[in-house]
Amino acid sequence: MSCLVKTNYSHQLSSTAMAMCSSFCPLIPNQLRARPICPFPTKPLFTLSVKAFSSETSNASSKADGLSARIGFLGLGIMGSPMAQNLIKAGCDVTVWNRTKIKCDPLISLGAKYKSSPREVAASCDVTFAMLANPESALEVACGEHGAASGMSSGKGYVDVSTVDGATSKLIGGRINATGASFLEAPVSGSKKPAEDGQLIFLTAGDKSLYELVAPLLDIMGKSRFYLGDVGNGAAMKLVVNMIMGSMMASFSEGLLLSEKVGLDPSVLVEVVSQGAISSPMYSTKGPSMIQSTYPTAFPLKHQQKDLRLALGLAESVSQPTPIAAAANELYKVAKSHGLSDQDFSAVIEALKAKLQNPPK
């Protein structure tokens, strides 16, 4: 049997609906959408039915009105919870699991089902998403004693949206594929607010047919998606992006403190930077709270340091010098040693303050 993406498009999309489509995800002509896209000689993964929506219907959930599938979601932390919520609000049939069950309760109140292990979630769902904090957790949840792999079988799909190294992703993918199921890595670029707003960027790699099948689900949770080829490429792209981001934040922290030290107003620096060639939403969003020494967590500092460590390992594996990222990593390690692991990664500025207060003798 073939796996199909079914569509119920009206003859003409409204101008508003067209405008809301991602520029990275162009619409496919209707005559192409009815063709088989999954070669597996098994029961279809799931059926997706996406209806076009009128100009009066502009909320995010309308993008998936009528979308039906049994979706599993493992890991309901700072990113996983809002991602799963968006799926539920879009009308998806979602089953959740988290090590700490209390984190499942808000989603259950929204209509989610609950299972007591990753294996049970995977066994009861057509496609299972996983958003875990680190490679060790991602591997355990997928391949452990009660892991998702033990509940997978032919016709099912596993989509790991965690940030891990390529080796871990390939290990998980191999274990999932051994069950006859399909695997897609899809780490995200974006933090808490983009996750809440459905504005994440998915960096996917792996099974192309699974990618095409879950695309409507990715579009509920994100604003754009990239397919990068073989498993490992998505992980590599995410680590490069976060390596750049971590280095940028460390440099921005130095600039804020230097401006203040020479008698300038750091608030004006944020405004100047935000209007120039190096403008970044990160600076304008994080700068004001950094000046006030408050760091509401959108992306935990411990995760930024973990990603820098993994990126440095990736660079080492191909003999690519990364001295700036290496220096930034040391600064984040100092921040962790000062008890800032669970603060936002912008709290790295406190490591520089500590160095100023305790200069080397």
Q: Where exactly does CATH 3.40.50.720 map onto the chain? A: 71-230
Average pLDDT, the chain: 86
The band of 37, judged by pLDDT with boundaries at 50, 70 and 90, is very low
Check residue 43 and give its pLDDT.
Answer: 45
Can you tell me the mean pLDDT for 338-358? 90
The band of 359, judged by pLDDT with boundaries at 50, 70 and 90, is low
Look at the block and give the residue holding tokens 């049970």: 120
Residue 200 in this model has a pLDDT that exceeds 90: yes
**Residue 74 and residue 143: Cα distance in Å, rounded?**
13
The band of 69, judged by pLDDT with boundaries at 50, 70 and 90, is confident
3-state per-residue secondary structure call for the chain? CCECEEEECCCCCCHHHHHHCCCCCCCCCHHHHCCCCECCCCCCCCCEEEECCCCCCCCHHHHHCCCCCEEEEECCCCCHHHHHHHHHHCCCEEEEECCCHHHHHHHHHCCCEECCCHHHHHHHCCEEEECCCCHHHHHHHHHCCCCHHHHCCCCCEEEECCCCCHHHHHHHHHHHHCCCCEEEECCEECCHHHHHHCCEEEEEEECHHHHHHHHHHHHHHEEEEEECCCCCHHHHHHHHHHHHHHHHHHHHHHHHHHHHHCCCCHHHHHHHHHHCCCCCHHHHHHHHHHHCCCCCCCCEHHHHHHHHHHHHHHHHHCCCCCHHHHHHHHHHHHHHHCCCCCCEHHHHHHHHHHHHHCCCC
Domain 236-356 coded CATH 1.10.1040.10: yes
Check residue 47 and give its pLDDT.
Answer: 54
- 301-347, pLDDT tens digit by residue? 999 999 999 999 999 999 999 999 999 999 999 999 999 999 999 99
The band of 53, judged by pLDDT with boundaries at 50, 70 and 90, is very low
Residue 13 in this model has a pLDDT that exceeds 50: no
Can you tell me the mean pLDDT for 144-148? 97
Q: Kindly state the percentage of the chain with pLDDT values over 90.
A: 79
Residue 112 in this model has a pLDDT that exceeds 60: yes
The band of 46, judged by pLDDT with boundaries at 50, 70 and 90, is low
Residue 355 in this model has a pLDDT that exceeds 90: no
- 180-199, pLDDT tens digit by residue? 999 999 999 999 999 999 99
Q: Which CATH architecture has domain 71-230?
A: 3-Layer(aba) Sandwich (3.40)
Can you tell me the mean pLDDT for 32-59? 39
Q: Where exactly does CATH 1.10.1040.10 map onto the chain? A: 236-356
Residue 23 in this model has a pLDDT that exceeds 70: no
The band of 26, judged by pLDDT with boundaries at 50, 70 and 90, is very low
Q: Which residues are catalytic?
A: 238
Residue 40 in this model has a pLDDT that exceeds 80: no
Check residue 52 and give its pLDDT.
Answer: 31
Residue 149 in this model has a pLDDT that exceeds 90: yes
pTM: 0.80
Higher pLDDT among residues 45 and 37, named by residue: 45
Name which of 8-12, 226-230, 253-257, 291-295 the model is least confident about: 8-12
